[in-house]
């Protein structure tokens, strides 16, 4: 079996930054166990397998694997796969007008809009479900110790640690400064014990950014999902909308947040998060970003 694949950098406009992604095309003949083996071979945070859609009205079906397990949904694979599919199938049209791509993922059909501006691919999707806050207790001293931080480094203004999910649960931990964020050195065993969740996944964030045009800088660690630090995490960004809504209490209308990530890894990334507020309630969340195709090849299996 010979399968074409592409390598992309997602949530960046330049190669060798952002979050790497492998996309394997024409994967209908692969069993899930084989997909998992291929994901381990690439050893990236996620690998996407593109299949024919179950419903022909949709563009494609995709399955997403980390090196350790399959995910029902993930943000940077959705952004990268939709951008690649649009480029592969309609690159001439793509330069003239945005294209609608509908991906079947385990959480449901996800509607993406893909455009090409000055040669750069951009994609945006509406989160398949609204993020929610999950009520869970945090032991702040234990959490701080597992991160290599002092208790006073945790929190700012009204922001405090909590769990939120838009399909995948993350512990969101506000950090008082970018200096403290850069000092974080997680003890993975200690972190797993400190977090009130089965598979540890943590998003640390601060208001201090590298680029003053952005709003938040984040670091995301996902040892429970088969990776350690992640350069850009769209599913965490989608869940962060619930955090921003709870603590910032934005007025009705649309609000954009620009989230920096990956700076501590030397892979700077930028995630565009859009919140729609109606009657004080969060009614829609969109995640967007750029993608760069950096390579292609053939798997011989």
- What digits encode the pLDDT tens for the residues 215-271? 999 999 988 666 689 999 999 999 999 999 999 999 999 999 999 999 999 999 999
Please state the φ and ψ torsions of residue 250, each to the nearest 5 degrees. -65, 150
d(CA 275, CA 250): 9
d(CA 26, CA 50): 6
**Entry pTM:** 0.95
**60 shares a domain with 139:** no
Among 105, 78, 91, 95, which residue's Cα sits nearest to residue 11? 78
Other Cβ atoms closer than 10 A to 149: 21
Tell me: do 23 and 40 sit in the same domain. yes
Catalytic residue of the set 13, 46, 105, 260: 46
What pLDDT is recorded for position 200? 87
> Structural domain tally of the chain?
2
298 bridge partner residues: 4
Pairing of strands 162-165, 281-300: unpaired
Percent of the chain with pLDDT over 90: 89
Q: Are residues 69 and 166 in the same domain?
A: no
Query: Which residues 6+ apart lie within 8 Å of 222 measured at CB?
Result: 45, 200, 201, 202, 228, 229, 230, 233
5 against 168, higher pLDDT? 5
Alpha-carbon gap, residue 18 to 113, rounded angstroms:
20
The verdict on 121 and 259 lying in the same domain is no
Domain with 214 in it: what CATH number?
A: 3.10.310.10
| pLDDT at residue 190 greater than cutoff 80 | yes
Query: In this structure, are residues 45 and 222 in contact, taking their beta carbons and an 8 Å threshold?
Result: yes
Tokens of 203: 């998003």
| Pick from 220, 295, 230: nearest CA to 45 | 230
- One domain, residues 100 and 14: yes
Percent of the chain whose predicted confidence (pLDDT) is above 70: 99
Q: What is the mean pLDDT of residues 24-36?
A: 98
- Tokens representing 140? 């702040």
Please write the tens of the pLDDT for every residue from 54-74.
999 999 999 999 999 999 999
Q: Which two tokens stand for residue 204?
A: 């640390």
Residue 213: band (very low, low, confident or very high) from pLDDT cuts 50, 70, 90: very high
Q: Which domain holds residue 282?
A: 132-287
Check whether residue 121 and residue 240 sit in a common domain.
Answer: no
What was the pLDDT predicted at 266? 96
Query: Do 274 and 294 have their domain in common?
Result: no
Identify the residue whose tokens are 């960046």: 12
Q: Does one domain contain both 148 and 201? A: yes
pLDDT at 168: 86
Q: Long-range CB contacts (< 8 A, 24+ apart) of 105-110?
A: 105/61, 105/62, 105/64, 105/72, 105/73, 105/78, 106/63, 106/70, 106/71, 106/72, 106/73, 107/72, 107/73, 107/167, 109/55, 109/58, 110/73, 110/78
Q: What pLDDT does residue 163 have?
A: 97
Same domain, 251 and 193: yes
Whether 149 and 277 map to the same domain: the answer is: yes
pLDDT tens-place string over residues 77-96: 999 999 999 999 999 899 88
Element (H, E) at 36: helix 32-42
Please tell me the predicted confidence (pLDDT) of residue 40: 96
106-136 pLDDT, tens digit per residue, is 989 999 999 999 999 999 999 989 999 998 9
Give the integer Cα–Cα distance in Å for 134 and 137: 10
70 counts as catalytic: no
Quick one: 158 and 277 in the same domain? Answer: yes
Same domain, 192 and 82: no
Q: What is the pLDDT of residue 226?
A: 62
Q: For all residues of the chain together, what is the average pLDDT?
A: 95
């Amino acid at each position: 079996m010979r399968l074409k694949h592409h390598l992309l950098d997602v949530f960046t406009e330049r190669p060798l930054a952002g979050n790497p992604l492998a996309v394997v095309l024409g994967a209908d003949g692969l069993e899930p166990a084989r997909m998992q083996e291929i994901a381990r071979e690439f050893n990236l945070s996620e690998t996407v397998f593109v299949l024919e859609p179950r419903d022909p009205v949709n563009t494609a079906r995709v399955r997403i694997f980390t090196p350790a397990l399959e995910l029902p949904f993930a943000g940077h694979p959705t952004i990268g796969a939709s951008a690649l599919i649009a480029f592969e199938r309609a690159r001439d049209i793509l330069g003239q007008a945005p294209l609608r791509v509908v991906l079947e993922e385990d959480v449901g059909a996800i509607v993406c809009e893909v455009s090409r501006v000055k040669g750069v691919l951009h994609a945006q999707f509406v989160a398949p479900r609204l993020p929610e806050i999950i009520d869970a207790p945090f032991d702040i001293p234990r959490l701080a110790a597992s991160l290599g931080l002092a208790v006073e480094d945790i929190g700012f203004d009204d922001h405090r640690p909590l769990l939120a999910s838009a399909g995948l649960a993350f512990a969101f931990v506000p950090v008082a400064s970018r200096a403290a964020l850069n000092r974080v050195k997680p003890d993975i065993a200690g972190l797993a014990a400190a977090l009130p969740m089965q598979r540890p996944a943590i998003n640390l964030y601060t208001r201090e950014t590298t680029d003053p045009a952005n709003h938040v800088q984040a670091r995301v660690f996902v040892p429970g999902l088969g990776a350690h630090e992640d350069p850009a995490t769209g599913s965490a960004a989608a869940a962060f909308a619930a955090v921003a809504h709870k603590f910032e209490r934005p007025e009705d209308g649309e609000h954009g947040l620009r989230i920096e990530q990956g700076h501590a890894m030397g892979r700077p990334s930028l995630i565009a998060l859009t919140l729609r507020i109606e009657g004080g309630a969060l009614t829609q969340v969109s995640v967007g970003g750029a993608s760069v195709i950096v390579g292609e090849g053939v798997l011989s299996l």
